[in-house]
A and B are shown apart, each in its own frame.
Chain A
Amino acid sequence: MKLATAPLAAAARLLDPALRALQRTTGERGMIAFFLLPNMAIFGIFVLFPMLTNFAYSVTGGNALFLADRSFVGAQHYARLVDCQNHLDPMTCRDDKFWTAVWNTARFVLLQVTLMTAAAMITALILNRSLPGRSFWRAVFFFPVLLSPVVVGLIWRWILQRQGLLNWAMDSLGFDTVNWLTERTSAFAAAVGVSVWAHMGFYALILLAGLQAIPKDLYEAAEMDGTRPTRVFLRITLPLLLPNLLVVIVLALIRAVQIFDEVYVLTGGGPGTSTLFLTQYIYEIGFASLLRNPGLAAAASILMGAVLVLLTLAQLGLARRAERK
């Protein structure tokens, strides 16, 4: 042990005079700033600078990539994005695709988070029981989390496409086949379902950890009192699992707002714009479309970022409230 720490101690002895001199010159606050500087520099270069650059794009126009070649247009892109006769009806909006993406994302978040939380909760409750091969089943439910989103999208596309595995099975059993990915309702349902399948294992694991932290004696006392299982769940399990559940909901919410890769591979945003979500809208307008507009994409990403900040603040508020309790 001494051998291992000896070089460190020697280095500390070497640095000590320099650090003391620095402290004398700059004071304690200066020392704090000195130690924080590397981290702040990394944050500034890789987070703050891109954010500011993105904002600069959002207030400039044209097709050029260099800011110096772009003309200042003020809030023109923001005005275009929010210009609507009726925000609930995207077709009355100046940029109908943006609002279609907004409402698609809102519907997706509501459905996906609800279904995923419920599925994760049920899975965690089942996996918390003493089942034969419990570890195997835990691995089975967690496995999709390990897959790349692109792989997830491709697997399900091969299953759901017109000549896919599901239609082959239905045809073999004598059922009419369905064009799952080209009908608006089924394509949206597929996007939600695939996303739940891909991410549920991660959230089930968080809830499982929460379930295992609940003291067993509470359940034993309830059993001795002859309490019904529903009441045990509502009065013991759910309240004690609430902190974990809040984390799951908020994390799932943030992730659902950012949905892109697996759905992009699965449906490409179609049919029409039925599964066009905000991130894909930004990607397409910024990079991929023949009607490319980097400024508009930047403005849309800033609006989306504002929503994510609100969700993060909500998470912090809820976490603090849970801690106080």
Chain B
Amino acid sequence: MKLRLTTLAALLLATPAAAGDVRLMWYSDGVEGAVIEDLVQRFMAENPGINVILDNVAYQVIQEQLPIQLQAGQGPDIARVTNLKEQADHWLDLTPYLADPDSWRTSFADTLDWMRPDGSDAITGFMTQLTLTGGFANATLFEQAGVPLPGDSATWDDWVEASAQVAEALDLPAAFAIDRSGHRISGPNVSYGANYVAEDGKPAPVDEGVRTFVGKLVEWTEEGRMLRDVWVSAAGSTYRAAAEDFINAQIPFYYSGSWQVANLSTKIGDAFDWVATGSPCGTVACSGLQGGAALVAIKYTRNPEEVAKVMEWLASEPVVKEFSERTLFLPAHQGVIAKGGLQFVSDDPHVQPALEKFVASSQLVAPAAQLLPPWKWANAYYGALVTRTSQVMAGELSLDDAFTRMDQDIADAVAQAAQ
């Protein structure tokens, strides 16, 4: 008999939905919280027997509290998550509850494997958005400083150098910032030749690609070119975004991802001109990292049929199209992509070119980066990267010690999972 009563779980359990209720845990990067609320209301009007309870939570709740709830066999009925593969054992296989599972498989063919256990053909959810990491430049600041924006084939060194000239000319705190996240620096690492995945599918030791880009990142931080606050102002693998510094025109260049487009558009408005730049080049590629958020059904639900109805409605082609157009997210639905003609709902002239840039950049994703979204050990790698790199930036570790510790941390995570 499983021992279900632990203090830990007792403190963190989510209230499971009652019969007929479907509890949906959702986080927002931009405006999608309001959009999903609207969609949920419409679903309930069309399906009076199902009551969807929408819990809008912070991303940190998804990252820190939801995993504990899932481990305790609890949680919401549906959740919007980014940690897809590692938690896949907790997702519900919707196949027996769906009216048309084949259509689902066709619509989300490329990404279904990202969110199911290795070797399974379960249908556990769908990507609410496809994302790609990439940069944003404050075109107004570049123009004011008289520095031309680097071109499509510009390297990281070129971008940092140009941004540093802007920062110096306009007396800004730093040239650029990257979100404090192992995921965010993995595209650049790959661009410098990194490969995280060993032949057996387990994590490979930290290689020259990682050493090169992380070494540059540390150097740029020491020189004050990278905004020190973002990476140095926390311990462990805590996520910190640098979006606010870009929005407040404190940095001319910001490396984050396509999910920021709506956020930047909403908050910057017409305060300055900004452009998406794609990912700067390294020595072997100009790669970003794909990813995204998925809506998944949780297998501990008491109402799988109602959950499947909600999921099927939200994953339908017209709803996905509307959701993408209103949230400015790139859709994962093959039907929506094939038909094209997405009319993104925004008066902001920066939005359409930015999204087009991300779509174009998705063609440049390196093979080593394509392996990472569905890879089980990606989070272990990301966690080790961010924890140890920020220790080097703070002056606590040498780079060599940090790389040794990264390998150790990743090996520990693999060993622990095997226990």
* Contact sample, A vs B, 21 pairs, CB 8 Å cutoff: A53-B6, A53-B7, A62-B416, A62-B419, A73-B419, A97-B236, A161-B229, A182-B228, A182-B233, A184-B396, A268-B234, A272-B232, A272-B394, A272-B395, A274-B396, A275-B235, A288-B63, A288-B64, A290-B380, A291-B237, A291-B409
B380 proximity list for chain A (CB < 8 A): 290-291
Of A67, A96, A100, A271, which one neighbours B232 at CB under 8 angstroms? A271
Residue of B4, B182, B394, B395 with most chain A CB atoms under a 10 A cut-off: B394
Cα–Cα distance between A179 and B379 once the two chains are bound (Å): 31
- Identify the closest chain B residue to A67 (Cβ): B3
Which A-chain residue is minimally distant from B10 (CB atoms)? A50
Known contacts A61-B416, A290-B383: does B3 contact A268 (CB below 8 Å)? no
- Residues on B with C-beta less than 8 A from A181 are 229, 233
One of A66, A280, A289 near B2 (C-beta < 8 A): A66
Question: In whole Å, how far is B64's beta carbon from the nearest beta carbon of chain A?
Answer: 5
**Structural contact, A184 and B419, CB atoms closer than 8 A:** no
Contacts A53-B7, A268-B238, A290-B182; A63 near B393 (Cβ below 8 A):
no
Q: Which residues on the A side are within 8 Å of B64 (C-beta)?
A: 287-288
Can you name 9 extra interface pairs (CB under 8 A) apart from A61-B416, A291-B412?
A65-B72, A66-B4, A184-B394, A270-B394, A272-B393, A273-B394, A273-B396, A291-B383, A294-B8
Whether A276 sits at the interface, judged by CB under 8 Å, is yes
Cα A324 to Cα B179 in complex, Å, equals 60
Cβ–Cβ < 8 Å partners of A62 in chain B:
416-417, 419
Interchain nearest-CB distance for A136 vs B (Å): 37
Cβ-based interface call for B405 (8 A): yes
Determine if B173 is an interface residue (Cβ-Cβ < 8 Å): yes
A271–B394 contact, CB under 8 A? yes
Q: Answer whether residue A68 sits at the interface, using C-beta atoms and an 8 A cutoff.
A: yes
Judged by a CB distance under 8 angstroms, whether B391 is at the interface is yes
When distances are taken between beta carbons in the complex, the residues of chain B under 8 Å from A292 are 67
How far apart are A108's CB and chain B's nearest CB, in angstroms? 14
Query: Which of chain A's residues 150-169 have a Cβ closer than 8 Å to chain B?
Result: 161-163
* Cα–Cα, bound, A91→B401 (Å): 9
Complex Cα distance, B417 from A287, in Å, reads 15
Q: How far, in whole Å, are A23 and B157 apart by their CA atoms in the complex? A: 86
Q: Which residues of B contact A65 (CB under 8 A)?
A: 6, 8-9, 68, 71-72
Do A287 and B68 touch across chains, with their CB atoms under 8 A apart? yes
Q: How far is the CA of A295 from the CA of B9 in the complex (A)?
A: 15
Q: Which residue of B lies closest to A95 (CB)?
A: B412
In contact, B237 and A290 (Cβ under 8 angstroms): yes
Q: Give a binary string over B387-411; 1 marks a CB under 8 Å from any A CB, 0 the rest.
A: 1001101111100010001000100
Partner of B413 from A66, A268, A291, A295 at Cβ < 8 Å: A291
> CB of B271 within 8 A of chain A?
no
Whether A306 sits at the interface, judged by CB under 8 Å, is no
State the CA gap A291–B413 with chains docked (Å). 6
Cβ of A284 < 8 Å from any Cβ of B?
yes
CA distance A162 to B174 in the complex (A): 12
| Given known A-B contacts A91-B397, A271-B232, A61 and B68 have beta carbons under 8 A apart | no
Given the complex, which residues of A lie within 8 Å of B2, measured CB to CB? 66, 68-69
Q: Chain B residues near A303 (CB, 8 Å)?
A: none
Query: For residue A182, which residues in chain B have a CB less than 8 angstroms away from its CB?
Result: 228-229, 232-233
A residues near B73, Cβ cutoff 8 Å = 66
